[in-house]
Structure 1
């Protein structure tokens, strides 16, 4: 089984046998629909992790800021970058830079736990994977957590220094790159169209870069235009079985990055 973005045959069978109650609609207010020159990519945003960054992305999307911008840096097994108005590193919108939101307070009511390694907890906030500190003895109702950079995770690019310099640039991880954890703001994860991201022309810059032709918030699309998809409820029995099957298949090599929250047509 492929380590990055992989789900094994048994897990796929479990997801396919899930009941209707195990699925729910995508959150239209926090779903980004990106039509690229290679096809459609759908991103589930996680404002619980990075409220300011998610709001910035939605603001720029509604301005039409991202329409036509290129994937100006695509490095195999690392990241695909876009969202700069000059189509190269260093470009920014006219809005002020954002504070780093790499670490956030994880409330006990807003996440699904996948595993509890000795150092803490790993799981999902919506469709986005996270890792956290050990929360066994925390009594405040929240722990310190961060989005973990599994394949397909979306974050905000920034200058090398200072860290509080994210503005408009986005990146999508093409493999598991946990070395970025706690150093960049994670905003969500690709839930459909990851094969499109993997097919983007590579280079720094690519000789023939692909473009984000149109970027929209799903809630702003007409009912006829909206993607007809639903996502597995991470609080349901089917997702628990999905995780159990993957853990059994992976054994000692199991990681939260082996799991993607299933999405299906409705």
Structure 2
């Protein structure tokens, strides 16, 4: 009875609308939902396997879109973790490997939120300006709440954290670990497995060259 009553009310409401409004109501499709796989980032690391990262577009839409854009451009493939601090975090995303580089896209306006920097959180690195995040990001080993509301959190590791824990430490590391392939789950790219040479450093810079203002 309730269903019949609701259908009757709905029909009466539509009948009361102007003809053009009725047509719009019938013809306008419902907004398509985004597949869950569209907001999952995979990082295949030289440390031995695939890291799964849940992206949070509701918290940081522009930063998530930037990460997805660069990922689909293969920007992150082959990039090292150039700054890795025990008990703190592992930072990557600089194609020069020095900590001072980024992509050719413009810097992003900060999207600071309430999500705390707990273990496994993925957050954007930046220079002194709050609106200077570009391509570099870091993964937190242990909670660091002093970063909250100062750096944009855009995701969190949900699988493969053991491969993050295995990233070579150093500023820069002697034999830096690297991202072999970054991909979005919706694109169905198979994992890239590490080889014996994947953790051998090929970065053409010395410790003296490292001046990294883009840091958490």
What's the TM-score, normalizing by structure 1?
0.57
Segments of 5+ residues of structure 1 without an aligned counterpart are 1-25, 104-145, 227-266
Give 4+ residue runs of structure 1 displaced > 3 Å after superposition: none
Name the structure 1 match of 2:10: none
Name the structure 2 match of 1:116: none
Could you list the per-position Cα deviations for residues 83-130 of structure 1 after superposition, in whole angstroms to 9, with x for gaps in the alignment?
Answer: 011112121100000001013xxxxxxxxxxxxxxxxxxxxxxxxxxx
1:40, CA displacement in angstroms? 1.2
1:79, CA displacement in angstroms? 0.7
CA distance in 1, matches of 2:38, 2:138: 21
Greater C-alpha radius of gyration = 2
Query: Of residues 38, 59, 72 in structure 2, which corresponds to 1:29?
Result: 38
CA distance in 1, matches of 2:100, 2:154: 20
Question: Aligned to 2:81, what secondary structure does the other structure show?
Answer: coil
Question: Aligned to 1:189, what secondary structure does the other structure show?
Answer: strand
**Correspondence 1:202 to 2:169:** yes
What's the TM-score, normalizing by structure 2?
0.70
Query: Of residues 140, 153, 163 in structure 1, which corresponds to 2:121?
Result: 153
Question: Aligned to 1:72, what secondary structure does the other structure show?
Answer: strand
Segments of 5+ residues of structure 2 without an aligned counterpart are 1-34, 192-216
CA distance in 2, matches of 1:90, 1:169: 9
Could you list the per-position Cα deviations for residues 206-257 of structure 1 after superposition, in whole angstroms to 9, with x for gaps in the alignment?
Answer: 00000100000000116xx48xxxxxxxxxxxxxxxxxxxxxxxxxxxxxxx
Name the structure 1 match of 2:11: none
Name the structure 2 match of 1:60: 70
Question: Aligned to 2:186, what secondary structure does the other structure show?
Answer: helix
